[in-house]
Amino acid sequence: MLIYILARYFHFFAVFGVIATLVIENIAIKPSITQEDAINLAKVNIVFNVSSILTFLVGFTLWLWIGKPSDFYTENPLFVTKIIIFTFILVAGLVTTVFFRSHRNRISEIIAVPPIIIFFLRLQLALFVMVMILAFFVARGVGLGY
């Protein structure tokens, strides 16, 4: 029981890390940023990546080994939708990570940010809000056929 509680809290804090970094990145990103902004956004993006991986790993552990039976989640179409959306968030995060990493050591005062990077950051935030709403419903059994 203690392991279940600790895993849930760890999962919650990892999710909080993801949402916090997405909010920071969305506030800080502009069509053009300075070198200092690029360095700082690269650091925030590292925290996003670590938080995302922890969210996935602890969530996967909760799904298959700790807590409710795995069928409770696996048979729920809302859960499957949540996993698909979260996977898309991770893939979209790769695009922003490549951009931030490639520009953190660039020697130019102003860096132009392609509109697709801003779009992906906004999309990630919106989709993550959807994931949290779906998680709320899944935890309460909404979507199950019984």
What integer pLDDT is reported at residue 146 of this predicted model?
60
Long-range interactions of 91-97: CB distance < 8 A, separation 24+: 92/120, 92/123, 92/124, 92/127, 93/45, 93/48, 93/49, 93/52, 93/120, 93/124, 95/120, 96/25, 96/45, 96/120, 96/121, 96/124, 97/45, 97/49
- The answer to whether the beta carbons of residues 24 and 45 sit under 8 Å apart is no
Tens digit of each residue's pLDDT (9 = 90 or more) over 48-94? 999 999 999 999 999 888 878 888 888 899 999 999 999 999 999 99
What integer pLDDT is reported at residue 94 of this predicted model?
93
Tens digit of each residue's pLDDT (9 = 90 or more) over 89-128? 999 999 999 998 888 777 778 889 999 999 999 999 999 9
Residues paired with residue 32 on neighbouring β-strands, in sequence order:
112
Q: Give mean pLDDT, residues 132-141.
A: 91
Going from N- to C-terminal start, the domains of the chain cover: 2-139
What integer pLDDT is reported at residue 17 of this predicted model?
97
d(CA 141, CA 146): 9
- The answer to whether the beta carbons of residues 144 and 76 sit under 8 Å apart is yes
- The answer to whether the beta carbons of residues 38 and 86 sit under 8 Å apart is no
Q: What is the pTM of this model?
A: 0.89
d(CA 68, CA 50): 26
Residues paired with residue 34 on neighbouring β-strands, in sequence order:
110
Write down the residue that tokens 């909404």 correspond to: 142
